[in-house]
Amino acid sequence: MPEPRILLLVLLAALAPAVFAQAMEPGEWEFNSVLSGPSLPRPQTATITQCISKEDASDPTRFTSGEQTMGCTVQPGARTADSYQWSLSCPDKGVSGDGKVRFTRRTIEAEIRTTVAMEDRKVEMLSRVSGRLLGPCKTK
């Protein structure tokens, strides 16, 4: 079973083309994920905070290539002014799925349904991700 934090990063990579391409405000963002499924004894939760720079917010390709995609391919789907759908394929990890996100400049709400191939069976999982702008990025 993928560790929740790793799965959250993969899911954020899938969300990135939708959210960052739609005038997301730069700043410190908090993303919360709840992963549930029949094979989990209880929902798994994870929270990450990420600084989104003005440059990052204006260039979604920075989030859909390289290390952050973790070997996954994102196929864009239907798009409206405040929503986006996509499909996700991670053959090396045996993960496939689809998702949809609704967003404003300061919030996102997403639902991602995935299937994970584990040994001789497939496990269905549902992840709900919410994100919100906290304010300016914290300096390190």
**94: phi then psi, degrees, rounded to nearest 5:** 70, 30
Reported as a single tens digit per residue, the pLDDT across 44-63 is 898 988 888 887 766 544 54
pLDDT at 119: 81
27: region left, alpha or beta (phi > 0 left; psi from -120 to 50 alpha): left
- Identify the CA nearest to 137 among candidates 57, 34, 22: 57
pLDDT at 66: 46
Reported as a single tens digit per residue, the pLDDT across 129-140 is 898 999 999 865
- Locus of tokens 């720079």: 53
Overall pTM > 0.85: no
